[in-house]
Amino acid sequence: MRTQPFLKYWFDLFLILLVISLVNISAAQAGPREQAKRIHERLAGVPPSESVLTNMQSQVENGNAVNAAMLAMDNADFYNVTLKNFITPWTNEAETIFAPLNDYTATLIGMIRDDRDFREILSADVLYVGAASLGLPAYSNNNNTHYQALEDQRINLKDNLVAATQSAVTGLPAAATAGITTSRAAAQAFFIDGTNRAMFRFTFKNQLCTDLEPLKDITRSPDRIRQDVSRSPGGDSRIYLNNCIGCHAGMDPMTQAFAYYDFAHDVDADPDGNNGNLSYNNVGAVDPDTGSRVKKKYHINASNFKFGFISTDDRWDNYWRTGANANLGWSSSLSGSGEGAKSLGQELANSEAFASCQVKKVFKEICLRSAVDANDRAQLTAMVNSFKTNNYNLKQVFAETAVYCMGD
């Protein structure tokens, strides 16, 4: 049966209850029970059961609101829904929230569940897969079927994600693994075609909370800007000297870390790479087009400026440690240089901007708004500090944020 004939009644009712709800929310003084309910709804995305609500209420009443939040995060929907939708837009270039579950998303969900140091997301040899007992299609380097099945079958990710390593599952050399950077989903999104600069840009967007535009610093040395960057676009070098150089001077020497990576796929038959795989030039490999381990894509369009930099290895340098972008807060315990994606991931993840970004993202997700005043900013600062002292445990940030925004 269908109840469409009653829709008009339903609409009336909806509007009435909407008004009532808004009036109540704004007028009512939130007590421990109301605060506990909001914490649960914000974290798990679903209403609590009576018993959980009562338990959480008790925790709040006893001044243990963070513990109440931890109870809410025991709900499977915190992982299956809240975290999945929190992470999914980071995994694709279109930043769509509707992208399917994939190894990038699942790995972060698993790392949060297991209280892993969140800095490892850009450097660790880590991968989370569905438990073998589920009988799902096995992880494949060439498709997303495994994770699609996890999602389609609404598998409880909290209970059924299993920690593994990329090196064991995908065969990528352990030294070449770099957290979600070397996940299949990230590779499909950001190593596909192009010049691998997308991986750099979207890592900054998603994990340091800044696009490249605000980072433009035209005073950095352009000595690592590749040949494919025109120094006079359309015959006007002012564009290069005032704009292009601002990003490329810092970006290109860091993106060199990805010089051995590509996403292999059939450009004609599979332009989106749904059946493609991460490709890595291991020690001893010689790319026929570059004569080194460097992928061909690093040498394309060389005649755009033949006196530009020619990549011969995956040495990266962070030119943004000086100049205006020193404000990103780079770790003084790291050198600012290295080889490959793993050490670059450590460089990025140990910055103040990384820690701050994670806290800001959680704040926006749970408080449903950005920080707007001094109180909010002080809370962000406090939570960044707490994040660091709690071994970069993101669940702690979720809990503290939910408590801050539980209402009063």
Which one of 153, 282, 335, 391 is in contact with other proteins (CB under 8 A)?
A: 153
336, two tokens: 């600012």
| Interacting positions 263-292 with other proteins (CB under 8 A) | none
382 scored as a contact of other proteins (CB under 8 A): no
Is 95:89 a contact under the CB 8 Å cutoff?
A: yes
Is 36:68 a contact under the CB 8 Å cutoff?
A: yes
38 scored as a contact of other proteins (CB under 8 A): yes
- Taking the complex as a whole, the smallest distance from the CB of residue 45 to other proteins amounts, in Å, to 4
| Interacting positions 112-151 with other proteins (CB under 8 A) | none
- Taking the complex as a whole, the smallest distance from the CB of residue 274 to other proteins amounts, in Å, to 19
Residues facing 127 on adjacent strands? 164
Q: State the binding string over 68-107 for other proteins (x if CB under 8 A, else -).
A: ---------x--xxx-xx-----------xx---------
Which one of 58, 145, 304, 337 is in contact with other proteins (CB under 8 A)?
A: 304
Which one of 156, 274, 322, 335 is in contact with other proteins (CB under 8 A)?
A: 322
| Secondary structure of residue 15 in the 3-state scheme | helix
| Interacting positions 323-342 with other proteins (CB under 8 A) | 323-327
- Taking the complex as a whole, the smallest distance from the CB of residue 354 to other proteins amounts, in Å, to 16
The stretch among 110-118, 183-191, 233-241, 282-290 that binds other proteins (CB under 8 A) is 233-241
Nearer to other proteins, 67 or 312 (CB): 312
Nearer to other proteins, 13 or 174 (CB): 13
| Secondary structure of residue 383 in the 3-state scheme | helix
Q: State the binding string over 175-214 for other proteins (x if CB under 8 A, else -).
A: --------------------------------------xx
Instruction: Give the whole-angstrom CA distance, residue 402 versus residue 103.
Output: 27
Instruction: Give the whole-angstrom CA distance, residue 43 versus residue 71.
Output: 10
- Taking the complex as a whole, the smallest distance from the CB of residue 114 to other proteins amounts, in Å, to 22
- Taking the complex as a whole, the smallest distance from the CB of residue 164 to other proteins amounts, in Å, to 25
CA distances from 116 to 77, 90, 132, 152, 352 (A): 19, 19, 22, 27, 18
| Secondary structure of residue 381 in the 3-state scheme | helix
Measured from the Cβ of residue 329, the count of other Cβ atoms closer than 10 Å reads: 15
Q: Name the maximum alpha-carbon separation found in the chain.
A: 73
Nearer to other proteins, 54 or 274 (CB): 54
Full DSSP string of 65-131? HHHHHHHHTTSHHIIIIIIHHHHGGGGSTT--TTSPP-HHHHHHHHHHHTT--GGGGGT---EEEE-
381 scored as a contact of other proteins (CB under 8 A): no
